[in-house]
Amino acid sequence: MDYQAILEEIATEIKPYIGQGKVADYIPALAEVDAQQFGMALTLFDGTQYSVGVADTPFSIQSISKVFTFTLALDAYGFELYKRVGREPSGNPFNSLVQLEYEQGVPRNPFINAGAINVTDALISHFGSPAKASKEILAFIRMIADNGTIESDKEVTESEMLHGYRNRALANLMKSFGNLDNDILDVVQTYFEHCAIVMNAQSLSRAMLYLANHGTDPISQQQFITPQQAKRINAVMLTCGHYDASGDFAFHVGLPGKSGVGGGIVAVIPKTMGVCVWSPALNAQGNSLAGTKALELFTNKTGISIF
């Protein structure tokens, strides 16, 4: 299949959608991003990469980092992890306290904020300190992206710390139910640090390969998690990866994926490739509007689908 031609068709057809929606504006560092940007990249198992638009422009990965922390925590804890966090769709806006209270402090899945904060807490306990956890998370992302220059943006983290009262409320509520080990400010800071990691679409499409290939990097042949675990992370991405539009994404795109409020979306095409699209303006559910549309075009044009 001529992937480059398909990407270029998408780049043409997507133009009317770019800039539609609204860039995340709850912190200045995100609000200043130019909405008129679009980039998309694919990485095949042999390392071949196709891209279009600003696929090499770095952006804040935000909730996409939750895929990587979930991976590390699953590797560290195995099934024990599910005592702390579930794997059911939330059926509610992504940062709702209601469900967390109703379910006694156990977040429904690792991709809602409460769940990702809880997973971060688990990683701090596992690695021994907030600093060590942050270091290991970054090291893992550099490794799977095969890119040693990736960093977290300190300004974004600081800005989040000044505004993140709702996330602290979630952490305090979990702590009140006994479902959080470490100091709340430490956990929230570590969580914001990995959300503030900056990557481009090319690196992110590369970083998805281990999930497309049963847990093993198809280029380095390094195994990060078991095939069973990879399959299950994909399942959770499909059912819970897009806040309250996860059903809609599965419906229109039909691929395991994860979006972030920075405007990035990663997707996995099992046995074939990793994909990443980026366009900063978000739809009403907080997912990149043009990005979602581009992935739908991609699956329609290639006929690729897991269904």
Among this protein's residues, is 246 annotated catalytic? no
Contacts of 13 (CB under 8 A, 6+ apart): 297
Q: Is 15 in the site for its own copies (CB under 8 A)?
A: no
Among this protein's residues, is 63 annotated catalytic? yes
CA distances from 107 to 119, 159, 267 (A): 10, 25, 23
Q: Is 19 in the site for its own copies (CB under 8 A)?
A: no
Question: Quick one: 86 or 262, whose CB is closer to its own copies?
Answer: 86
**Triad 43, 277, 279: Cα angle to 5°:** 155
Number of residues counted as binding its own copies (CB under 8 A): 51
Q: Is 39 in the site for its own copies (CB under 8 A)?
A: no
The Cα 120–Cα 140 span in angstroms is 14
Give the SS3 label for residue 38.
coil
- Tell which one of 21, 53, 89, 291 touches its own copies (CB under 8 A): 89
The distance of closest approach from Cβ of residue 147 to its own copies in the complex, given in angstroms and rounded to an integer, is 25
Question: Quick one: 54 or 233, whose CB is closer to its own copies?
Answer: 233
- Tell which one of 20, 49, 57, 92 touches its own copies (CB under 8 A): 92
Which DSSP category does 287 fall into?
S
Beta strand 22-23 pairing with 281-282: antiparallel
Structure tokens given for 297:
């075009």
Q: Is 169 in the site for its own copies (CB under 8 A)?
A: yes
* Residue 171 near residue 237 (C-beta atoms within 8 A): no
Site mask for its own copies (CB under 8 A), range 229-258, x = bound: -xxx-xxx-xxx---xxxxx-xxx-x-x--
Q: Is 22 in the site for its own copies (CB under 8 A)?
A: no
Active-site amino acid positions: 63, 66, 191, 243, 261
